Structure 1
Amino acid sequence: MPTVRRNSCEKIMGFEENVVKMQRDTVDRISELPEFILHTILSMLDTKEVCRACILSKRWYGAWSSVPVLDFQLRYFQKYGDYPGNCDDDTLKRFVGFVDKTMQRYSMHKYRITKMYLMLPKSAEKLVSLIDKWIMIAVQNQIQDFGIRVVGGFYYRLPEILFCAKSLKVLKCKFVKLPYYKTMELVSLEYLTLYLDTVDEDMLQRIISSSPLVELDIKRGYRLVNISLPWMEKGNGGDKCTTSGTMQSNHQESPLQKFVYTGLGHHMPWPWNMNIVALKNLRKLEFDFASITDDIVSELACGLVALESLALSQCFNLKCIKISSNSLKQLRIANELHFIEVTIDAPKLLEFSYNTEVETSLSLVRVPDHCNAQFLPLGSDPLTTVWLVELKKFLEETNFFKSLVIELPNPRKILVDEDILRNTGPPYKLSELKLCGIGAWNLGKFSVVGFLDALFRCCHPDVLSLTTSLQNPGSELILDILNILKRKVHCYTHPLRSIEVEGADCSSLLSKPSKFEMRFRLSWCQV
Structure 2
Amino acid sequence: MALELPDLVIHQILQFLPTKSAVRLSFLSKQWEGVWSSAPIIDFDEGGEDGNNNLSQHKRFVKNILSRYLEFLVEKEKEKQGLEKFKLHMTRYLSGDASIVTKLLSSSFERGVKELDISLRVSKSQWDHWSGMKNYNNLSPMELINAKSAARIKNYYYFSRTALANAKSLTTLNLGSVRIKNISFKECSTSTCLLPSLKSMSLKKVHFDKEALFYLIRECSCIEYLSIISCSFKDGEFRVSSSSLKSLQVEHCDSFAIQVDDAVNLESLTIVSDIGPPQLPNFHSIILKDCFNLKCLHICAPQVKVFDLDGCHDVKGTIDAPLLDSITFKGYLSSKLSLKAPNLSMTRIVLFDKWDSEAATFNSRPWNHFTTLSNFLEEFGSSKTLDLYVSDFKALMFPKNFRKTLSSPIFPSLKKLYFSVKNPPRKMNKELSDSLYWMAPDVLFIKNLPWRIRHRPL
Length-normalised TM-score, structure 1? 0.43
Length-normalised TM-score, structure 2? 0.49
The structure showing larger relative contact order (alpha-carbon pairs under 8 Å, at least 6 residues apart) is 2
